Amino acid sequence: MTDAAAGIAEAAPPADASTAATQAPTSGAFSFADYVKTLPDEDQAHVAKKNWKDFPDAIKAHRSAESAIGAKVDLPKAGDEAALKAHLQKLGAPADGKYALTIPDGVTIDEGLRTGFEGIAAQAGLLPQQAQALLNWWNEQAAAAGKGMADASAAEQAAKAKVKTDAMAAYETTLGKDQFEAKLGAAQRAAEFAGFMKFDAILNAIEDTEQSQAFIEGFAKLGDLIGTEDQHVDGHGRGGPPSAPLPLANRLYPNLK
């Protein structure tokens, strides 16, 4: 064999080329570090970043990447409502649009409102936990708003009551306790005579303090005209022992002829 023929024989692949191709290089013949040196700079930087030390490290990383890619979820294209709906149902959105919502104890929910809420939730493709979270938030906001309104109303009523109480106390101080109580007694008699048995309730219902005083003054005058239970007012405005009752017009207006 000539020298040229011998060189050709050494360069030729073995008879079973496929078997030779599957043999992994050994660290002695061709190390991983030597292989990395043959790569472009950006690939060498990637190997260093991943801290791969040998061929098995790169193989494991490649296998993990393939597994992750195989498990990926393709997102629906924009505008494809059917694909979006199917995608959301795969994630857990109910296909029938029904949600097993939990309602807090003591909270009564209108069935029509509940049905409407479920319809909107299904239309938006909400997952069950998302729909429940939204409902919980709504209930909390509604409860807080209701309590705030109740507290504000109670505070307003308390403020009005204090203003009126202070005004009536000042009115009593101005008249003196005895005269104040006398006026109240006379007003009470007039109210009972006129058929208003709940004089105090009527007085409390009047929010304006000036009107309250006018109400007491007016009924007190009527009470003075009517007199006590053991007196009556005759046609000339004189009190005396009970006798045949005069007509109501004459009792209220003694000077009426």
Structure tokens at 35: 């292989």
Cα within 13 Å of Cα(80), Cβ side = 10
**Chain mean pLDDT for the chain:** 76
Does position 175 have pLDDT exceeding 70, yes or no? yes
* Residues 158 and 173 grouped into a single domain: no
* Residues 194 and 222 grouped into a single domain: yes
Q: What is the mean pLDDT of residues 211-219?
A: 80
* Residues 226 and 172 grouped into a single domain: yes
* Residues 196 and 212 grouped into a single domain: yes
Non-local CB neighbours of 221 within 8 Å, separated by 6+ positions: 186, 190
This prediction has a pTM of 0.44
Q: What angle do CA 50, 42, 68 make, to 5 degrees?
A: 45
Does position 111 have pLDDT exceeding 60, yes or no? yes
Does position 25 have pLDDT exceeding 80, yes or no? no
Instruction: Assess contact for 206 and 161: CB atoms under 8 A.
Output: no
Confidence at residue 250, expressed as pLDDT on a 0 to 100 scale: 52
- Tell me, yes or no, whether 81 lies in a domain: no
* End residue of a domain, out of 120, 138, 164: 164
Number of domains in the chain: 3
* Residues 129 and 171 grouped into a single domain: no
**CA–CA dist 7, 104 (Å, integer):** 89
CA 230 to chain CA centroid, nearest Å: 64
Confidence at residue 21, expressed as pLDDT on a 0 to 100 scale: 38
Confidence at residue 240, expressed as pLDDT on a 0 to 100 scale: 44
Q: Where in the sequence is the domain holding 185, given as residue range(s)?
A: 165-252
The residues pairing with 239 across neighbouring beta strands, listed in sequence order, are 233
Q: Which residue has the tokens 């307003």?
A: 156
Q: How far is CA 100 from CA 11, 42, 65, 170, 199, in A?
A: 74, 53, 38, 61, 55
At 82-98, the pLDDT tens digits run 888 888 888 899 999 89
Confidence at residue 243, expressed as pLDDT on a 0 to 100 scale: 46
* End residue of a domain, out of 164, 184, 210: 164
Q: What is the mean pLDDT of residues 149-157?
A: 92
Which of 147-151, 172-176, 222-226 holds the top average pLDDT?
147-151
Instruction: Indicate the pLDDT class of residue 41, thresholds 50, 70 and 90.
Output: very high
Q: Which residue has the tokens 């203003």?
A: 163
- Tell me, yes or no, whether 142 lies in a domain: yes
- Tell me, yes or no, whether 86 lies in a domain: no
- Tell me, yes or no, whether 6 lies in a domain: no
Instruction: Assess contact for 242 and 214: CB atoms under 8 A.
Output: no
The residues pairing with 240 across neighbouring beta strands, listed in sequence order, are 232
Which of 98-107, 147-156, 211-220 holds the top average pLDDT?
147-156
In sequence order, which ranges of the chain are alpha helices (DSSP H)? Answer: 3-11, 17-22, 32-37, 41-50, 55-70, 81-91, 111-124, 128-175, 177-193, 199-205, 209-226, 248-252
* Residues 191 and 246 grouped into a single domain: yes
Q: How far is CA 153 from CA 44, 147, 162, 207, in A?
A: 74, 10, 14, 15
The CB density around residue 220, as the number of other CB atoms within 10 Å, is 20
**CA–CA dist 219, 188 (Å, integer):** 7
